Structure 1
Amino acid sequence: MINPHKQQIIKPKKAVIKWLLDSDPAIRWQVMRDLTKEPDEFIVAERKRVATEGWVAQLLALQDADGKWGGVIFPAKWASTFYALLLLRDMGLEPTSEQARKAVSLVRHKVTWGQEHGNSPFFEGEVEPCINGRVLALGAYFGGASDQLVDRLLSEQLEDGGWNCEAPPSRRSSFNTTICVLDGLLAYENAKGACTAVTDARLRGQEYLLVRGMFRRLSTGEVIDRSWLRFSFPPTWHYDVLRGLDYLRSARVEPDEQVIEAVDLVAKKQHQNGRWPLQNPHLDQVNFAMEGPAATASRWNTLRALRVLDWYYR
């Protein structure tokens, strides 16, 4: 088994932790939970600040009275309601907070997917599994997971174990779609408890990624998409190796030889100062920039990489 600078990774440089903590509360509380392993009461206290300070407070302030961000549900990309809610979840807005309840209530009662999708309520999703997987994750996180949406996603699983927004006619799964659905199924299980059908489907989807080493073709072993070797935040609908490994960590998968190469790839991206860079950012119509341009040090990528490596070695 390879050993990508194990000691340095298990015990990150104090300067790196200090740099991570010298940031937004959305990052700080996750550092305290995942890296420094602070007592629960300190983590809870820091997380409460997320709703009223920094990036989350900025994003909440941009919601319109009709429940939308940017006036739309999805097409305006990052400035849309869909991506705003995903970012609020990723940053850890406490779903029971007053701010979350107010924002989500507006979406729940006022936002639909439009006439094209029969005015389906936002948290009931639309037709594409890459979107519906994340809608399911949002509903589960914010307290309203759709059983109907789960049933649809389970019915759309392909024979190879994954999902694809192009199916039919495609009969082969897509990493991009599969990771979005896996996020949703895991969130559903976390919110509602174990369900055999959901767990079985999720494990088959995980295996689709794992048997391919998280980024290689099963048939030839070649890299499927070289953009997956560059890490962005937020990933939006895009798959990359760090996103895939962070999902496995959150799903409490026991790491084995199938992830060794992917973990080594993450470790090799670390700079000598202990930080990871932002790569391949998806910046179309962002409401505001959280980090600098590509190639600059990224707190989000550093946090996620360190917790993935901690998961692998522990």
Structure 2
Amino acid sequence: MSPDRRTLDWLLDSDPALRWQVERDLTDATPAAWRATRARVTHEGIGAELLSKQDDDGQWAGGAYFPAGFFGSPEQDAPGQPWTATTWSLKDLREWGVDAAALAGTAEKLAKNSRWEYDDLPYWGGEVDVCINSFTLANGAWLGADVSRLVEWFPAHRLADGGWNCEAEEGDSTRSSFHSTLNALRGMLAYEKLTGDTSQRDARHGGEEYLLERRLLRRASTGEPVGAFVTEFIFPNRYRYSALAALDHFREASLHDGTPPDPRLADAIDAVRAARREGGTWAQGTPLPGRTWFAIDEAPEGRPSKWLTLLGTRVLDWWEGSASPSGM
């Protein structure tokens, strides 16, 4: 399912933050070659640009999850939310492959200077929102912060049906959310890969089972699609669930755990395959509204997206290149 030569050349003609992943996952590049490209992210392109936006106190835009001055401003009533504050910026830099050494001292600065907008809680202790805590867990592990409270938080706050929900802590829901559960899983997997600590693995596997039981697409109660969002692919997806984002997690978890693809992923694979366009590309969906520092994916809505094409191609390559999952 690898892209044709023209599409692969198009993917390689990219910012280093994308190119190193294309080299690693879609070509025969040696580890030395793709690591050399990844090292450029700190000094070139979007990685260097976002690093340059960091405040002297370690934050971005003066806030933990929202920029300073957001609450009570006209922007608070606008669609979406800003994506410029500290947590979102760290998440992007980490996922683009920036070396943590480029952020030396940031963990300590945030421990001293950054507080959550919710209840003025200290930054590395997290807060009550599952998605926020998942990003913080992974970012903290990457930067070497003390995230021990969050390591314990995720297993303790898993819901009875197997997953997580950002609304549960306020008493608004006792049922898990696809969005919250996937973000929790991605945070726990990133933490485990960065630290080698497997204490959350049982909770992660339980959350993965929650999504697998629903084939990544459907309600457990009726078998109906959980919502149109599952087949609406966008990049960056920020917090938002899709079948493609979920499959990218299951691919990463499978490679890390040394397990084959689960056959219950087949329906989601079919959805991703159906969205593939001629030449092996995937189109950008409707971007999430909200202020950004700059465009990460230059593709306008409806046009081929390099980032989505990377994700879609590597998911299908993993699925089709593995031994046929049992039961297929």
TM-score (norm 1): 0.90
Does 2:86 align with 1:81?
yes
Q: Give a deviation string over 1:228-264, Cα, whole Å, max 9, x none.
A: 2111111111111111000001111521321111111
Q: Which amino acid aligns with 2:31?
A: D
**Do residues 185 (structure 1) and 192 (structure 2) align?**
no
- 1:56-108 Cα distance to aligned partner (Å, 9 max, x none): 11111111212222222212431111111111112111223xx2325555434
1:191 is displaced (CA, Å) by 2.3
Q: Which residue does the alignment assign to 2:139?
A: 138
Establish whether residue 22 from structure 1 lines up as the match of residue 13 from structure 2: yes
Partner Cα distance (1:226, 1:48) in 2: 38
- Alignment of structure 1 residues 206-285 onto 2, 5 Å: 206-252=208-254, 253-285=259-291
Q: In the alignment, is residue 164 of structure 1 matched against residue 165 of structure 2?
A: yes
How far apart in 1 are the matches of 2:162 and 2:17? Answer: 34
Alignment-derived partner of residue 44 in structure 2: 53
- What residue in structure 2 maps to residue 110 of structure 1? 113
Contact persistence 2:65–2:88 (CA under 8 A): yes
Choose the corresponding residue for 1:287, options 290, 293, 305: 293
Match in the other structure for 1:299:
306
Q: Compute the displacement of 1:296 (Å).
A: 1.4
Q: Give the 3 Å change call, closer, same or farther, for CA 145–212 of structure 1 in structure 2.
A: farther
Residue 272 of structure 1 aligns with an amino acid whose one-letter code is: E
d(CA) in 1 for partners of 2:288 and 2:27? 29
Partner Cα distance (2:177, 2:146) in 1: 24
1:145 and 1:137 map into 2 onto residues whose CA distance is: 11
Structure 2: give runs of 5+ residues left out of the alignment.
68-81, 322-328
Amino acid in the other structure paired with 1:311: W
Q: Quick one: distance in 2 between partners of 1:32 and 1:256?
A: 26
Structure 2 counterpart of 1:60, one-letter code:
L
* TM-score (structure 2 length as normaliser): 0.87
Coordinate RMSD, CA, aligned: 1.7
Rounded to whole Å, the distance in 1 between the matches of 2:197 and 2:149 is: 17
Quick one: structure 1 residues 263 and 145, their matched pair in 2 at CA, closer, same or farther if it must change by over 3 Å?
A: farther
The question of whether the paired residues in 2 share the 8 Å contact of 1:233 and 1:281 is answered with yes
Question: 1:92 corresponds to which residue?
Answer: 97
Counterpart of 1:6?
Answer: none
What amino acid is the match of 2:124? F
Among candidates 12, 20, 25, match of residue 34 of structure 1: 25
Residue number in structure 2 paired with 1:5: none
Report what 1:310 is aligned to. Answer: 317
Instruction: Give CA-to-partner distance per residue, 1:277-309, whole Å, 9 cap, x none.
Output: 111311410111121321111111000111111
> Is the CA contact (8 Å cut-off) linking 1:87 and 1:234 kept in structure 2?
no
Identity of aligned residues (%): 40
Query: Distance in 2 between the 1:108 and 1:127 partners?
Result: 18
Q: Which runs of 5+ in 1 are unaligned?
A: 1-8
Give SS of 1:295's match: coil
Q: Which residue of 2 aligns with 1:126?
A: 127
- CA deviation vs aligned residue, 1:136-161 (integer Å, no higher than 9, x gap): 01112222351211111211001111
Instruction: Deviation per CA, 1:180-231: give whole Å up to 9, x if none.
Output: 1111111221123253x41111000000001101010111111111022111
Q: CA separation in 1, counterparts of 2:286 and 2:211?
A: 21
* 1:25 counterpart letter in structure 2: P
Residues 136, 145 of structure 1: 8 Å contact kept: no
Residue 13 (structure 2) pairs with residue 12 (structure 1): no
Residue-by-residue CA offset, 1:165-192 (whole Å, 9 max, x unaligned): 1113421100111111111111221123
Q: Distance in 2 between matches of 1:141 and 1:88?
A: 10
Distance 1:200 1:125 in 2: 21
